[in-house]
A and B are shown apart, each in its own frame.
Chain A
Amino acid sequence: MTKNLRVKTSKFIDETYKVSFKFNGTTYYGYKGDTLASALLANDIHLVGRSFKYHRPRGIMTAGSEEPNAIVQLHNNTSRTEPNVRATEIEIYEGLEASSQNCWPSVNFDIGGINNFLSPVLPAGFYYKTFMWPASFWEKYEYFIRKSAGLGKSPTVPDPDIYEHKYIHCDVLVVGAGISGIIAAKTAAKNGFKTLLLDEKSYLGGSTIYQNSENFKISNQISSSWLEKEINEIKKIENLEIKTRTSVAAFHGYNFLLARENLTDHLPLDQRKNKTRHRLLKIRAKKVIMATGSLERPLIFDNNDRPGILLSSAIEKYANLFGVACGERNVLFTNNDSAYETAISLFQKGINIEAIVDNREEIDSKLIKETEKNNIKVYKGYTVVDTTGYKRINKISIMQLSKDGQKVMGSKVSITCDCLGISGGWTPAVHLFTQSGGKLKFRDEDQVFIPDKYPSDQISIGSCNGDFTLNEILSSIPNKLKDFLNIKKTDYENLEVYSSFNKSKRNIWLLPSDKLIGKTKPFVDYQNDATAKDIKLALREGFRSIEHVKRYTTTGMGTDQGKLGNMHALGIISETAGSKMGELGTTTFRPPYTPLTFGTIVGRNVGEYFDIFRKTPIHDWHVKNKAKFENVGQWKRAWYYPKDGEDMHEAVQRESKAARDSAGILDASTLGKIDIQGTDASEFLNRVYTNAWSKLAIGKCRYGLMLNEDGMVYDDGVTTRLDENHYIMTTTTGGAATVLGKLEDYLQTEWPELDVYLTSVTDHYATVSVCGPNSKKIVSQVIPDLDFSDENFPHMSFKNAKIGKIKCRVMRISFTGEHSYEINVQANYGKSVWEKCIEAGKEFNITPYGTETMHLLRAEKGFIIVGQDTDATMTPIDLQMDWIVSKKKYDFIGKRSLYRSDTIKEDRKQLVGLLTENPDDVLEEGAQIVADMNKSPVEMLGHVTSSYYSPNLKKSIALGVVRGGKNMMGQKLIIPMENKQINVTVADPVFLDKENKRLNA
């Protein structure tokens, strides 16, 4: 039977809407508006999980995203399971199922808890020290280390939720909707700035919105009432967009920020269908106002981690916002006035406070006086030295502090309690500011890091800037906003502010104990179980840099990134090493501020939208005819067309035989096509290709090789002269965009004097390539008006033609070595032309073939594929294509590099043909080529670049690059494979029809 610790109605909780949820298999009830943490606390449950290393029982410690302990697994063993969810952030909904992590068999009885008793032999660096030897045991250690690593369980099935990205551009982005953020957003929006206000909570107003004390007033109104009116006003401003449940994850350079908008995590599962769960906002802001607030610091003393120990501000929030008492016998331990605010709130709600332990001796503020007036016992100048209670705190021991705060004295006093609130002052939340490249400075008087140098157009206001009291906030913000937004006035000048808060603080990073430190467990990083003792050990072992101490002790390396304890770690290092905090610096705050789901990062780039792809205008025909596709660049290209259960090899053999024997048809629409016009078009081609173009007659086509500046082959293709000053260039499929970009770059930067214009027409044309001895008969049926005689239409020429009333261009060019025609027609007529060719070719058994057969056919002819037979280290000479390099031209891209000492060496890798001793052995592409297997080490001469079994030649053929291969014709070489060696002979790379008889057949 659990207790009900709901104490008083809260307007933030809908008590008419009861919500049932399960925690560790047991059903509990809460109300709409509760977080899992507030609902558990209302049911008097503090024990939520076990710590990472020692498996110590841990409870809810905070009420926000800084929570280190209360992290749970949601919906275990389902597709929606999620580990490491902070109970303090997740809002409950009907059907929520949460369970504890890092414990077995249960959170109440955890076998791993034995680690707590072994802790004396598990110091910082235990793993590093222990698992170094013997080296051969590593694999055995690794198994156990991996098994015990991590906290929750990853999902094992696909995520059913939808995630999206969204780009937002605003004039002013305000991060944080506390009192400072609300003031800033309203001021910016009312002055005409397109403003975006974000807050990670489900409500606006930060901690002020539930501050119901007469001790804090603005314009003679209780601060929360004043702020509520402001919030109601900003909701009506048109150019102000407000997003709650939205956490800024990263603040990059130039005011580019990433935020996660949580859209459905608070809804029951059955209401989430087809809705976006998380949205990653990619925000470009002209100006950024950081109003991220501050985080309350814990206090570091022995056994400061027990369930029932919470931050004092969290206890206040649970009482005021959720109407929940965290305990029935509460004690507060503080070094500043904040705990008294909590005490007054609890008192107002009728929640019992046993005592307040304050480490300050001389304290005088209105808040303390009011507390004492309420008969709450205050122990001044005392510190907590120990706590007891394994799964829930039941007692604390306190002792008096010495004047210097380094020792305790006097006798121990025990106080029975079931909840201890601790308050060590406040740390400005500067994480995002530093992510943006901002530099911090250390303020000695209250031991805080605050923003100093801004790297972009941004400011920090409110408590994230070190202005902690209501007075400070409201007196500083108006002037800051006026300067930053360049405006003359704000609505917030000369406000009457009343605040009872006294800023005095007695900061002691590690509180003294009556025991030796080695006998204590003062936790600094709660999630990773790093104690002050571990930090001191790291310093004794020689670590000095904060970054090294962090990694050695794992302080600040949990999912909470040490939001609570990092400052204490710095303080303890500084005190122990005798260095100044300001000089020590901080560890690097890295994005994300709070963990993001992978879905948020990926967005809709999953499944069919994982990558973009392109289809040719004939794509649907290929699908209908059961083509298999391969990805070429971004294109889906027909790879082969299996028939009657054929595998790829069988299909390719059939397709290539048909293309040589009668007719084949290929969809070549993917080739890049660049329209080149201008009076200097011929000169331009002379400069970009290695061969000469000036004398190419109108109506003729020519193959060209394009080099990079380093003389290496970059792209190739056929270019056709359509008119005196008009060419169309084809490029490789994958190279189209980069070639166009490179050529445009040359025209704009190197050769602005040339009168040349480039326009991509790759997508404008569908290209149907018909090849084979019967190709002429087929295309002449499709285009009856065109004279296809060899005299009128010889190889490497082009004709304008019409099919019906549709204009098209026909090129007689060949990549197969066969008599071939390419019909280029406007894309939307492409499928129709293809179908007409198929129809006309029926009597000739016209066979559609894909890229695999195309590769085989061209390899038989020794035609290269740039990117397959070349790899940016091959010159035209290496490819045995000396014939295409003009010796007469003054210049072309890469010319100079062809005459460097390295590129004219005789023993460069050169393209050769390879014939296997056994004609049935097909080499593996990429296989190494060697001459002498007995040489040690074996010298690699090159590798196989293309390899096929040719049904036309009835033998295996291959192309490869071999060091000095040009002079090795007829020489025997070896291809060493896994289980055998294949003997090959170096041959001419042209295997079929060297005389080009078939082209003109």
Chain B
Amino acid sequence: MLNYTNAITEEKSYSGLQMKEIKPVMKLVIRGKKREFLSAIGKSLNLLLPTEANTSSSSDKLTALWLSPDEWMIYSNEILNSETNEYETENLLNKNISKTNLGAVTDVTDQFVLINMKGDKIFDLFETGSPFNFNDFRNKKGSVTQTILAKIDVIIHNQNKNEVNLFVRHSFSQHLFSWMNDSASRL
């Protein structure tokens, strides 16, 4: 039996900002160009992949983020059991997408750490380290961006008003979280 050790162990709270890691959350990168790929995903997951750049779509259990014209990240809305890393969705897509040569399905569950941020100072924090223009992004629920924060690549998903999910590579996550806390302490 293996122990599960997540990257960020603390939840942090500041005036107008709370940050914590959400885990374990299944994350898959799916890639494909064909129309059949899109329809097979839709049928398999009961989820239409977003085709408009920098947007997302959701079902009860899953959220899909547009990453590039042939690339999406799908992540589970629910917290999973850390005792196994067998994912029903991955197996289903392997069967319906990979095996049928419609596209690629890659497990990136631990490639990214998911940091959930809540509060009215989220974008004040981003402004201290990201050159991205969040003016429209912050008002558009479901918008997605791939940008840099404190020189580190991140994917940011606007979940709701005053709530975002931030995905950062596992190896950078502790450094970024430390930087975010440093910056948040002065907001």
Interface assignment of A764: CB less than 8 Å from any CB of chain B? yes
Residue on A with the closest CB to B110?
A827
Once A828-B4, A828-B24 are accepted as A-B contacts, the answer to whether A763 and B169 lie under 8 Å apart by CB is yes
Once A194-B135, A612-B151 are accepted as A-B contacts, the answer to whether A604 and B182 lie under 8 Å apart by CB is yes
Residue on A with the closest CB to B171?
A614
Interface assignment of B20: CB less than 8 Å from any CB of chain A? no
**Are B5 and A832 in contact (CB-based, < 8 A)?**
yes
**Are B31 and A759 in contact (CB-based, < 8 A)?**
yes
**Are A764 and B2 in contact (CB-based, < 8 A)?**
no
Chain B residues whose CB sits within 8 angstroms of the CB of A276 once the complex forms: 186
Chain A residues whose CB sits within 8 angstroms of the CB of B110 once the complex forms: 617, 763-765, 826-828
Chain A residues whose CB sits within 8 angstroms of the CB of B59 once the complex forms: none
Among B32, B108, B127, point to the contact of A167 (Cβ < 8 A): B127
**Are A677 and B98 in contact (CB-based, < 8 A)?**
yes
Interface assignment of A726: CB less than 8 Å from any CB of chain B? yes
Q: How far is the CB of A400 from chain B (nearest CB, A)?
A: 62
**Are B6 and A759 in contact (CB-based, < 8 A)?**
no
Chain A residues whose CB sits within 8 angstroms of the CB of B134 once the complex forms: 169
**Are A763 and B170 in contact (CB-based, < 8 A)?**
yes
**Are A679 and B101 in contact (CB-based, < 8 A)?**
yes
**Are A807 and B128 in contact (CB-based, < 8 A)?**
no
Once A759-B108, A761-B108 are accepted as A-B contacts, the answer to whether A805 and B83 lie under 8 Å apart by CB is yes
Interface assignment of B140: CB less than 8 Å from any CB of chain A? no
Best-surrounded residue of A760, A803, A828, A832 (most CB of chain B within 10 A): A828
**Are A678 and B128 in contact (CB-based, < 8 A)?**
no
Residue on A with the closest CB to B105?
A677
Interface assignment of A228: CB less than 8 Å from any CB of chain B? no
Residue on A with the closest CB to B112?
A763
Q: How far is the CB of B43 from chain A (nearest CB, A)?
A: 20
Chain A residues whose CB sits within 8 angstroms of the CB of B7 once the complex forms: 617, 827-828
Residue on B with the closest CB to A171?
B135
Interface assignment of B103: CB less than 8 Å from any CB of chain A? yes
Among A763, A807, A825, point to the contact of B86 (Cβ < 8 A): A807
Q: How far is the CB of A273 from chain B (nearest CB, A)?
A: 11
Once A612-B151, A759-B31, A829-B4 are accepted as A-B contacts, the answer to whether A169 and B133 lie under 8 Å apart by CB is yes
Q: How far is the CB of B128 from chain A (nearest CB, A)?
A: 5
Once A615-B174, A615-B175 are accepted as A-B contacts, the answer to whether A764 and B3 lie under 8 Å apart by CB is no
Q: How far is the CB of A851 from chain B (nearest CB, A)?
A: 16
Interface assignment of A260: CB less than 8 Å from any CB of chain B? no
Among B1, B109, B150, point to the contact of A826 (Cβ < 8 A): B109
Interface segment, A158-166, A325-333, A811-819?
A158-166
Chain A residues whose CB sits within 8 angstroms of the CB of B1 once the complex forms: 804-805
Q: How far is the CB of B165 from chain A (nearest CB, A)?
A: 17
Bound-complex Cα distance A274 to B185 (A): 9
**Are B4 and A757 in contact (CB-based, < 8 A)?**
no
Interface assignment of A413: CB less than 8 Å from any CB of chain B? no
Q: How far is the CB of A751 from chain B (nearest CB, A)?
A: 14
Q: How many residues of B contact A (CB 8 A)?
A: 56
Interface assignment of B22: CB less than 8 Å from any CB of chain A? no
Number of A-B contacts (CB under 8 A): 146
Best-surrounded residue of A678, A757, A833 (most CB of chain B within 10 A): A757
**Are B171 and A763 in contact (CB-based, < 8 A)?**
yes
Interface assignment of B70: CB less than 8 Å from any CB of chain A? yes
**Are A165 and B128 in contact (CB-based, < 8 A)?**
yes
**Are A832 and B3 in contact (CB-based, < 8 A)?**
yes
Once A615-B175, A617-B170 are accepted as A-B contacts, the answer to whether A275 and B23 lie under 8 Å apart by CB is no
Bound-complex Cα distance A164 to B127 (A): 11
Bound-complex Cα distance A677 to B106 (A): 9
Chain B residues whose CB sits within 8 angstroms of the CB of A615 once the complex forms: 171, 174-175
Residue on B with the closest CB to A674?
B106
Chain A residues whose CB sits within 8 angstroms of the CB of B3 once the complex forms: 829, 831-832, 835
**Are A826 and B128 in contact (CB-based, < 8 A)?**
no
**Are A608 and B86 in contact (CB-based, < 8 A)?**
no
**Are B104 and A678 in contact (CB-based, < 8 A)?**
yes
Bound-complex Cα distance A864 to B127 (A): 44
Residue on B with the closest CB to A755?
B101
Bound-complex Cα distance A827 to B8 (A): 13
Q: List A residues 62-105 near B (Cβ within 8 Å).
A: none
**Are A826 and B85 in contact (CB-based, < 8 A)?**
yes
Interface assignment of A806: CB less than 8 Å from any CB of chain B? yes
Q: How many residues of A contact B (CB 8 A)?
A: 54
Interface flags for B67-93 (1: CB within 8 Å of A; 0: not) read: 000110000000000111110000000
Bound-complex Cα distance A47 to B101 (A): 83
Chain A residues whose CB sits within 8 angstroms of the CB of B84 once the complex forms: 805-806
Among B106, B152, B182, point to the contact of A675 (Cβ < 8 A): B106
Interface assignment of B172: CB less than 8 Å from any CB of chain A? yes
Once A612-B151, A828-B5, A831-B3 are accepted as A-B contacts, the answer to whether A757 and B130 lie under 8 Å apart by CB is no
**Are B186 and A275 in contact (CB-based, < 8 A)?**
yes
Interface flags for B6-18 (1: CB within 8 Å of A; 0: not) read: 1100000000000
Chain B residues whose CB sits within 8 angstroms of the CB of A757 once the complex forms: 31-32, 70-71, 103-104
Interface assignment of B29: CB less than 8 Å from any CB of chain A? yes
Interface flags for A671-683 (1: CB within 8 Å of B; 0: not) read: 0000101110000
Q: How far is the CB of A473 from chain B (nearest CB, A)?
A: 31
Interface assignment of A284: CB less than 8 Å from any CB of chain B? yes
Interface assignment of A143: CB less than 8 Å from any CB of chain B? no
Q: List A residues 624-651 near B (Cβ within 8 Å).
A: 635
Interface flags for A253-294 (1: CB within 8 Å of B; 0: not) read: 000000000000000000000111000001010000000000
Interface assignment of B39: CB less than 8 Å from any CB of chain A? no
Interface assignment of A138: CB less than 8 Å from any CB of chain B? no
Chain B residues whose CB sits within 8 angstroms of the CB of A831 once the complex forms: 3, 5
**Are B183 and A604 in contact (CB-based, < 8 A)?**
yes
**Are B104 and A274 in contact (CB-based, < 8 A)?**
no
Bound-complex Cα distance A616 to B174 (A): 10
Bound-complex Cα distance A164 to B184 (A): 12
Once A169-B135, A612-B172, A615-B174 are accepted as A-B contacts, the answer to whether A164 and B186 lie under 8 Å apart by CB is yes
Residue on A with the closest CB to B84?
A805
Interface assignment of A836: CB less than 8 Å from any CB of chain B? yes
Interface flags for A656-698 (1: CB within 8 Å of B; 0: not) read: 0000000000000000000101110000000000000000000
Interface assignment of A394: CB less than 8 Å from any CB of chain B? no
Residue on A with the closest CB to B152?
A612
Q: List A residues 140-167 near B (Cβ within 8 Å).
A: 162, 164-167
Chain A residues whose CB sits within 8 angstroms of the CB of B175 once the complex forms: 612-615
Residue on B with the closest CB to A825?
B2
Q: How far is the CB of A623 from chain B (nearest CB, A)?
A: 12
Interface assignment of A609: CB less than 8 Å from any CB of chain B? yes
Chain A residues whose CB sits within 8 angstroms of the CB of B29 once the complex forms: 759
Interface assignment of A517: CB less than 8 Å from any CB of chain B? no
Interface flags for B147-187 (1: CB within 8 Å of A; 0: not) read: 00011100000000000000001111011101100110110
Q: List A residues 543-582 near B (Cβ within 8 Å).
A: none
Bound-complex Cα distance A164 to B84 (A): 43
Interface assignment of A168: CB less than 8 Å from any CB of chain B? yes
Interface assignment of B129: CB less than 8 Å from any CB of chain A? yes
Bound-complex Cα distance A762 to B112 (A): 10
Chain A residues whose CB sits within 8 angstroms of the CB of B176 once the complex forms: 612
Once A759-B31, A807-B86, A836-B2 are accepted as A-B contacts, the answer to whether A608 and B127 lie under 8 Å apart by CB is no
Of the A-B pairs whose beta carbons lie under 8 Å apart in the complex, a sample of 24, sorted by A's number, is A164-B128, A165-B129, A167-B130, A194-B135, A274-B186, A275-B186, A617-B7, A675-B104, A675-B106, A677-B98, A677-B103, A759-B29, A763-B112, A764-B170, A805-B1, A805-B86, A827-B170, A828-B5, A828-B24, A829-B3, A829-B5, A829-B85, A832-B4, A833-B2
Which A residues have a C-beta under 8 Å from some C-beta of B? 162, 164-169, 194, 274-276, 282, 284, 604, 608-609, 612-617, 635, 675, 677-679, 725-726, 755, 757, 759-765, 803-807, 825-833, 835-836
- What are the nearest 10 A-B pairs in CB distance? A614-B171, A677-B104, A757-B104, A827-B110, A764-B111, A757-B31, A169-B133, A763-B170, A832-B3, A832-B2
Q: A759-B108, A805-B83, A806-B2 are in contact. List 15 more A-B contacts (CB 8 A).
A: A274-B185, A284-B133, A614-B169, A615-B174, A677-B31, A678-B101, A757-B103, A759-B31, A759-B104, A762-B111, A805-B1, A805-B86, A826-B110, A828-B5, A832-B2
